[in-house]
Amino acid sequence: MFNKRTRIKELLENDTHNYEVTVMGWVRTFRNNQFIALNDGSTNNNLQVLAELGKFEESLLKRITTGASLKVKGEIIPSLGKGQKIELKANSIEVLGDSDAEKYPLQPKKHSLEFLREIAHLRFRTNTFAAVFRVRHSLAFAVHRFFNEKGFVYLHTPIITASDAEGAGEMFHVTNFDLINPPKNEDGSINFKNDFFGKATNLTVSGQLEGELAAMAFSDIYTFGPTFRAENSNTARHLAEFWMIEPEMAFYDLEDNANLAEEFIKYIIKYVLGNNKEDLDFLSQRLSKEEKQKPQNERIEMSLIEKLQFVTNNNFERLTYTEAIEILKESNYNKKKKFQYLIEEWGVDLQSEHERYLVEKHFKKPVILTDYPKQIKAFYMRQNDDGKTVAAMDILAPGIGEIVGGSQREERLDKLVERMKEMHISTEELDWYLDTRRFGTVPHSGFGLGFERLVQFVTGMTNIRDVIPFPRTPKSAEF
């Protein structure tokens, strides 16, 4: 069989030698016409292949260039080189795919992350991105494992929807109309009756509303899929297409919700700490080099792995929005006007700088904020008895701010309808959603976790475009 090969990771984890293997991979470097550094993506570490002088045709050796792919058969022998216990003494080398050394963009040197974004189709072959995306894979696997162990049902919610779950209006529209000349009503608005779905539709911003429907039957469900925001934001924190994890749980109040979210975050980080040590060590070293280039007062105090262990080993700090506002208001950062957005009164929406201050400067641990002003939160959140706040919950993490947003959902039909009318959200279009409050309503809760922000937190990458394979941002939909 062609694919009867051994992964390089397996070889390097095994100290034994004097046995025959077949390996396949891509050339990282070729030194002195005899030492090939071969990598197959299973690990950042290369396997040294020894091509004995005089054993192979000159025409073959010329084809062994950076980026070329090889199939090598040979014997695993003890290595005399530093930093490696074994190497592969080649008996046969087959070039599976040539790579023009002059044109190959990934020369064996340091490349900037900005440059690598321009060649995102090749950046997986670098150590940094290989480590990031192996960690991303492990996190995704741990998500499914956590919920499966808890007895949750995995629900695929629609990508094309007629509802705007967040009420924000920043949506990508879906249509098969001729965009130059769509049919219009008398008032000039577009007539969607003859469109593919017979109504205005868009790419989903959240699977939450559909998730709630299923939670009213299965009790505990979760979604994990792509979501879309047509927000014209060119920052290191925003994407137009990203992945969301959204569990919805019947018979959960806000405290139950916060407990599950904290347990969930700790579980998946522990999984990666236990299964991706090599990648995390590499990313931690990379981050510490990056930190050394910053001014002393801007550096992160803990290493990447220390930060992750700190999260798994400590209880998250819990406080209300009102308590947080007081802390921020009285902080030196606010008094000395170090915040870009000064905190002057209760009711303002917290910015990333405020969230990071609470986490990194004040508490020095992840924070769960609850009971936000209802005016800055979505229509579906349960209204508290004070008439001013809702049973909302955000989890704030070091380095990035908000990582989880959730709430107890408003299960009382009259309160929900009243709030929708206040916010000018059509009760007619969401009549199917209101049915869950008409027929056997129960207290229920849920949260959303932006997967890319989680990957950022775990890998230490500072730009969200570097933790998704092919970032979709304003004016950019390459590959």
pLDDT of 76-98, one tens digit each? Answer: 999 987 778 999 999 999 999 99
Note the pLDDT tens digit of each residue in 169-190. 689 999 999 888 899 998 988 9
- In tens, the pLDDT along 446-472 reads 999 999 999 999 999 999 999 999 999
Confidence of residue 32 (pLDDT cuts 50, 70, 90): very high
Confidence of residue 236 (pLDDT cuts 50, 70, 90): confident
**pLDDT mean across residues, the chain:** 93
Question: Which of 52, 58, 130 has its CA nearest to residue 91?
Answer: 52
Q: What is the pLDDT of residue 290?
A: 84
Contact 445, 407 (CB under 8 A): yes
Confidence tier at 167 by pLDDT (50, 70, 90): low
Q: Which CATH superfamily is domain 125-170+205-466 in?
A: Bira Bifunctional Protein; Domain 2 (3.30.930.10)
Q: What is the pLDDT of residues 397-415, one digit of tens each?
A: 887 789 999 999 999 999 9
More confident residue, 300 or 479: 479
Q: Which of 111-125, 131-145, 342-356 has the highest mean pLDDT?
A: 131-145
Distance of CA 234 to the CA centre of its chain: 17
Global pTM?
0.93
Please check whether the two domains, 8-107 and 125-170+205-466, share a CATH topology: no
Q: What pairing do the DSSP bridges indicate for beta strands 201-203 and 173-174?
A: antiparallel
**Range 333-343 average pLDDT:** 93
Residue 355 has pLDDT above 60, yes or no: yes
Is residue 154 within 8 A of residue 175, CB to CB? The reply is: no
What pLDDT was estimated at residue 169? 61
User: Is it the case that residue 350 has pLDDT exceeding 80?
Assistant: yes
* Domain locations along the chain: 8-107, 125-170+205-466
CATH number for the segment(s) 8-107: 2.40.50.140
